[in-house]
Structure 1
């Protein structure tokens, strides 16, 4: 713990936590074991941090949301275990809607990325440099977002999806797919990501066939979902696709 850091007396610092020069930790902050905090990091009141997460210089965690309806309600940011928060990342606390902004475990938020209020990131999510995530967004597990991508508030991105860098996300992105282009479009399934995460060739083939019905047939979305519903044979991945689309509030790309 560097002598120039400022830490509220109420904060319990585990013995294996490191805190660099000029970092500030306010009251009502919970730090897990093995947390590494570099220089000039600001961790605001109400933040909860899991074990072995690392924060690089200039990161600001738990600042008030940029929402004019926010009225100083008691809300929080929660970050899981083993996540990496790079330089100048900003993560804002929740509003009275969800009351929490949540980052899962094993996430990597690269430099200058922003996560707005009430957003949920699952585990193993990667936000590349300068990704800007609006409020109330949900990003499921194992998603990768390319650099300089803005994500509109209330959007949802399904598990194991890949979004190419620099493209605007203004509708929901279903699980297991690649999304690219302006406007954002379906670009096939995320075969590389699925193989890296030990999906079998049979399951990848089943996912690919499901998306052919959705995106590469003469059927509209409602017709495609009905066909998949009738022929899903209880395959977990297909059921996840069906449920994701049925529960989409903004429509899918």
Structure 2
């Protein structure tokens, strides 16, 4: 029995695995590829040069792969790629990339995307991200693994959100958010370390101690960012178990181009 509802419109050039299901009144464009086990709910539009991986669950009323909301976009063949095992709830909009960047909007694996989320052109999302209702990413935003973004939060174009960070409800993000931090508000402020998230992910006591020390160096000792980074690098010598966490933070701070949330 076909898994494509008879009222769905699937272009003959689209490449869908035989196990993909498509709900009533959905529209699938000619340049779309969808891998095994993915389900597309009713009343969805999947268009553009869009590639969707395995075992995703895309609920009803989503717009996936539409052109960017960028006045400079002139029809270039840009792309959207979505990985595996993502849950995408109702009324989300994911746009393709633009030629002003890599030309690809990317969403990784195992992400939990709630209703009314907007992911704009050229955004780069990692894995295990949670985005609550009405969270919005401007163009070119980069989001690391295991980030939680609260509902009604707006993230401006070109911001960088570090791995394992958490952004609280209804926040205005106009600066880069370092890894492991909890931030919220308007103006945005750092509230501390994302201890709940780290413990849920079985970070060891030494790793958490090192991360808390990195927070103190950046935010509690009145240091310049350069001096804080120097102190952070030294932590790897005394806490070798946290060497990867130290490298992640130092690398993020070294590449922060929008200032960091304070």
Q: Same fold (TM over 0.5)?
A: yes
Counting matched residue pairs gives 253
In the alignment, the residues of structure 1 paired with residue 17 and residue 256 of structure 2 have an alpha-carbon distance, to the nearest angstrom, of 42
1:229-248 equivalences under 5 Å are 229-233=233-237, 235-248=243-256
- 1:5 paired with 2:13, answer no
The structure 1 segments of at least 4 consecutive aligned residues displaced by more than 3 Å after TM superposition are none
Equivalent residue, structure 2, for 1:81:
84
Structure 1 residue runs of 5 or longer lacking an equivalent are: none
Q: Partner of 2:38 in structure 1?
A: 35
Q: Partner of 1:157 in structure 2?
A: 161
2:201 counterpart of 1:193: no
CA deviation string 1:178-219 (max 9, x = no partner): 112221111111011011111111100111011101100021
- Of stretches 221-230 and 123-132 in structure 1, the one that deviates more from structure 2 is 221-230
Work out the CA distance in 1 between the residues paired with 2:54 and 2:231.
Answer: 45
Q: Give me the whole-angstrom Cα distance separating, in 2, the residues matched to 1:79 and 1:25.
A: 15
Distance change in 2, residues 1:230/1:200 (3 Å)? closer
Q: CA RMSD in A?
A: 1.0
Structure 2 distance, partners of 1:110, 1:60, is 14
Equivalence for 1:64: 67
- C-alpha distance in structure 2 between counterparts of 1:115 and 1:218, whole Å: 36
The answer as to whether partners of 2:132 and 2:151 remain within 8 angstroms in 1 is: yes
Q: Where does residue 167 of structure 1 map in the other structure?
A: 171
Q: Distance in 2 between matches of 1:224 and 1:60?
A: 43
Deviation at 1:231, TM superposition (A): 4.2
Q: Deviations over 1:46-66 (max 9, x none)?
A: 100000001111100010101
1:53 aligns with 2:61: no
Instruction: Give the structure 1 partner of residue 259 of structure 2.
Output: 251
TM-score, normalised relative to structure 2: 0.94
Most deviating of 228-237 and 59-68 = 228-237
TM-score normalised over the length of structure 1: 0.98
| Alignment-derived partner of residue 127 in structure 1 | 131
Q: Provide the secondary structure at the position in 2 that maps to 1:224.
A: helix
Report 1:107-126 matches (<5 A).
Answer: 107-126=111-130
